[in-house]
Chains A and B, each alone.
Chain A
Amino acid sequence: MAEHKVVLSLKNISKHYPGVQALDNVSIDFREGEVHCLVGENGAGKSTLIKMISGADQPDSGIIEFNGKMYNAMTPKLSQELGIDVVYQEFNLAEDLSVAENLYIGQKIGDQKLFDLKELKARADKVFEEMEVDIDTTEIVRYLSVSYMQFVEIAKALSKNIKVLILDEPTAPLTEDEVQKLLNIVRKLKQQNYVVIYISHRLPELFEIGDRITVLRDGKLITTGTIDQFNTPKLIKNMVGREMSYDYPKRQHEIGDIVFEAKHILSEKVHDISFSVRRGEILGIGGLVGAGRTELLRAIYGADLRYEGEIYLEGKKVKIDKPSDAVKLKIGFITEDRKREGLLLEDTICHNISLPILKKISKNGVVNKHEEKLIAEKESDELNIKAPSIETVAGSLSGGNQQKVVIAKWLAANCKVLFMDEPTRGVDVGAKQEIYKLLNYLASSGLAIVMISSEMEELMGMAERIIVLHEGKMAGEVQRREFSQEKIMQYSSGIM
């Protein structure tokens, strides 16, 4: 590739979020007519980088240069004006409007005062013509397939006279055929001299489409180079190689018999997955974001529809159709989004902890408040929840303490099996350590724990075994003695 003009240039960008250095002195050039791939593990800093470019968030330090002009930060408005647009994984379409209307939402067509549908359609048709996508622009978006919605998103960006297009995991929801269509569009954009910043977990397609690749890890830029300088193993090596930054607390207790077993779980996003977990064991579930990890646990728990699959608890086949069935069987679920699914934010610690056991501590339907308080006090002490009292409102606690309240809830319910989805998300470093210790303590007291985590080192530090998912399927299982970041990454990327 000839040396094209640099359009967008990041210089020494740093960004700190509580508990994590999301970007650390990152400098990258983006050139016109190139497809620049960004890769990295979960949490490597890709999303933060996009936010800096799109103006969704501002860097702590560093300079963003666009066409020779220097900026200390972007705002959403400024980046739009400069011609930068992002197509996110989550579509941002008005589903009940037509394709053409979606393209020009918020833009004024012509100088007429009235809405000119004909002109709108003509313009929209032209955009799709240039993309060489065959589509009826009067069709209502809701009735399009996922791939076409994706194309509409891209067309929407192109209709705005942009220069830089950022595609965040554009192929994640697409089938093999559709991926090829999308890659064709990307090639076309490249010919037309756009800057395309392409983020994908699917490594093979990077080699098909990319001109240059930048690898991020822990917020740092590891390497940038032309595509021919890389191959898959080298890429993975660069992506992982993370330092184990914590001391993970050791455990020495005995692992017991199998407590929980799920067989052939099948749901919309999960294809025939089986696993088991033993007393005192922490089973890790690895894989990239969107691999179906959360969906697997939700399908087992009865929170999502399960098409097929059998569940065994202590050797006996059990029926779980809805979460209340699971709770009755003493299976707890700590979800990823504790604010939306784990806590009653406006209610007290005490009421949050007693939520699953209200019926049990009631006599003739009346809650025994004394017993409720005793249990809440006990769990709150055991987990060392830092709050003035158990009457403190849960929403006012720090992330780590909120998480402890959720854990306390399941301890109060006397769980035998505990599902945990990203248990340390959004908690600071100190609280993380505490939660790790807590997990070990729970495991040593005989609980069987199934833990999803996007942080590979956390999984490796905490789990006895790790099962790795890739696009809804079981990609592999790794025992503690065989743990290596490369191996897990390879399974996660579906190349093994």
Chain B
Amino acid sequence: MKKISFKKFYDEYGVFAILLVMIIIFSIATPTFLTGANIINISKQVAIMAILSVGMTFVLISGGGGIELSMGSVVSLVVVLISKFVTENNMGIGVSMLIAVIVATALGFLDGVVIAKIKVPPLIMTLGMQIFLYGFTYTICDGKPVYGIPASLTWIGQTYLFNVIPVSALLMIIIIILGQFFLSKMYVGRDLFAVGSNEDTANLSGINADRIRIMAYTLCGTLVGIAGIVMLGRIGSGQPSAGDGYEMDVLTGCVLGGVSLNGGKGNAVKAFCGILIIGVLSNGMSLLGFDPFMQKMVKGIVLILAVVVDSLQNIKLKKKVKVLN
């Protein structure tokens, strides 16, 4: 039998293993965990994060310090924009959603252009965007939530297909599958990996690295827009704080799912598993009666531990190479 090193196993299946272990532990610890109702509940809870994680995965793979910190702010903006369009401007639901997604896409495009062409570090660009949009969203709604959303807008967040599958979860699964298809089967997806793992090689091989990066941020923007629609459907009112802090949970999930912060490496399905780990952890701990502060502590520890195990492997690997040389 072929021997697989721990490192390789951890790289390939680590996130699945952690998720599985967690599910087993919670199933034993509380009888309510592994029930149909609870599973549906978890899938609703993670839907928004999971859609965002596909966008974050694109951006992280693009390399050059790629990161998107304005996701939460854009989600809030989308939520408030649609609410205002529909309740105050009497615009159609479809048109409102379309415009909001276009705005989110344009913001992603803007991030991409500034990052790729002017070489502003992604961390700074998207952090600046986050802060600006936070202020902007609160300004356009006077700091007050927008109420009076019609029921037709909330179906995406609150209805079930065949009375079982939440629409939001279905959308999430479709987006993850499309995202992974894009990454592994389409040539632009392959170009994205090439740019992220070695920009010079990619450029000299005729790939326009700047254009690929801009595309990654733009697609991410579109996905953030869609996540915003799901968010509005779920909360049912235009809350300017709807998306606050989401980017950090998404980033945590992606890192748990093995998406490299150095670019060139990542997988939308595994990133989803990372998100699920966070979702399962929150849900399980809530069922067990952990308070939110305890939950935060555990989440932080899980994140650091996952990365520590990975880094330990790399340290050993580096030493080995040295001796060989």
Q: Are A362 and B204 in contact (CB under 8 A)?
A: no
A70 beta carbon closer than 8 Å to chain B? no
CB contact between B205 and one of A355, A361, A366 (< 8 Å): that residue: A355
Alpha-carbon gap, A184 to B81, bound state (A): 71
Residue of B190, B193, B202 with most chain A CB atoms under a 10 A cut-off: B190
Q: Which B positions have Cβ atoms within 8 angstroms of A?
A: 185-188, 190-191, 193-194, 197-198, 200-208, 264-265
CB contact between B197 and one of A326, A344, A366 (< 8 Å): that residue: A344
CB contact between B201 and one of A344, A358, A361, A369 (< 8 Å): that residue: A344
Q: Are B188 and A365 in contact (CB under 8 A)?
A: yes
CB contact between A365 and one of B186, B203, B206 (< 8 Å): that residue: B186
A55 beta carbon closer than 8 Å to chain B? no
Could you say which of A99-107, A284-292, A334-342, A476-484 contacts chain B?
Answer: A334-342
CB A50 to nearest CB in B, in angstroms, measures 20
Which residues of A sit under 8 angstroms from B202, Cβ to Cβ? 344, 355
Q: Are A344 and B198 in contact (CB under 8 A)?
A: yes
Alpha-carbon gap, A335 to B201, bound state (A): 9
Also in contact, A340 and B200, with CB within 8 A (given A324-B208, A327-B206, A355-B205): yes
Alpha-carbon gap, A359 to B186, bound state (A): 9
CB B258 to nearest CB in A, in angstroms, measures 14
Q: Are B198 and A345 in contact (CB under 8 A)?
A: yes
Residue of B186, B204, B207 with most chain A CB atoms under a 10 A cut-off: B204
Q: Are B207 and A355 in contact (CB under 8 A)?
A: yes
CB B23 to nearest CB in A, in angstroms, measures 31
Q: Are A327 and B198 in contact (CB under 8 A)?
A: no
A95 beta carbon closer than 8 Å to chain B? no
A351 beta carbon closer than 8 Å to chain B? yes
Q: Are B194 and A344 in contact (CB under 8 A)?
A: yes
Q: Are B186 and A327 in contact (CB under 8 A)?
A: no
Q: Are A303 and B197 in contact (CB under 8 A)?
A: no
Which residues of A sit under 8 angstroms from B193, Cβ to Cβ? 344, 347
Q: Are A409 and B205 in contact (CB under 8 A)?
A: yes
Alpha-carbon gap, A343 to B190, bound state (A): 14
Q: Are B206 and A356 in contact (CB under 8 A)?
A: yes
A333 beta carbon closer than 8 Å to chain B? yes
Residue on A with the closest CB to B200?
A: A341
CB contact between B264 and one of A346, A355, A365, A369 (< 8 Å): that residue: A346
Which residues of A sit under 8 angstroms from B205, Cβ to Cβ? 323, 327, 355-356, 409
Also in contact, A324 and B187, with CB within 8 A (given A341-B200, A344-B197, A355-B194): no
CB B117 to nearest CB in A, in angstroms, measures 13
1/0 per residue, CB under 8 A from B, across A409-436: the answer is 1000100000000000000000000000
Alpha-carbon gap, A326 to B128, bound state (A): 37
Q: Are B200 and A324 in contact (CB under 8 A)?
A: no
Residue on A with the closest CB to B188?
A: A365
Which residues of A sit under 8 angstroms from B188, Cβ to Cβ? 365
Alpha-carbon gap, A344 to B63, bound state (A): 14
CB contact between B186 and one of A345, A367, A409 (< 8 Å): that residue: A367
Q: Are B190 and A342 in contact (CB under 8 A)?
A: no
CB contact between B185 and one of A323, A346, A367 (< 8 Å): that residue: A367
A328 beta carbon closer than 8 Å to chain B? yes
**A 337-386 contacts with B by CB, 8 A:** 340-347, 351, 355-356, 358-359, 361-362, 365-367, 369
A269 beta carbon closer than 8 Å to chain B? no
Q: Are A326 and B194 in contact (CB under 8 A)?
A: no
CB A197 to nearest CB in B, in angstroms, measures 28
Q: Are A366 and B194 in contact (CB under 8 A)?
A: no
Residue on A with the closest CB to B264?
A: A346
Which residues of B sit under 8 angstroms from A369, Cβ to Cβ? 185
A322 beta carbon closer than 8 Å to chain B? yes
Alpha-carbon gap, A342 to B199, bound state (A): 10
CB A336 to nearest CB in B, in angstroms, measures 12
CB contact between A333 and one of B190, B194, B204, B207 (< 8 Å): that residue: B204
Which residues of B sit under 8 angstroms from A342, Cβ to Cβ? 201, 204
Q: Are A335 and B187 in contact (CB under 8 A)?
A: no
Alpha-carbon gap, A367 to B193, bound state (A): 14
CB A92 to nearest CB in B, in angstroms, measures 22
CB B211 to nearest CB in A, in angstroms, measures 9
CB A60 to nearest CB in B, in angstroms, measures 16
Which residues of A sit under 8 angstroms from B198, Cβ to Cβ? 340-341, 343-345
CB A419 to nearest CB in B, in angstroms, measures 10
1/0 per residue, CB under 8 A from B, across A273-302: the answer is 000000000000000000000000000010
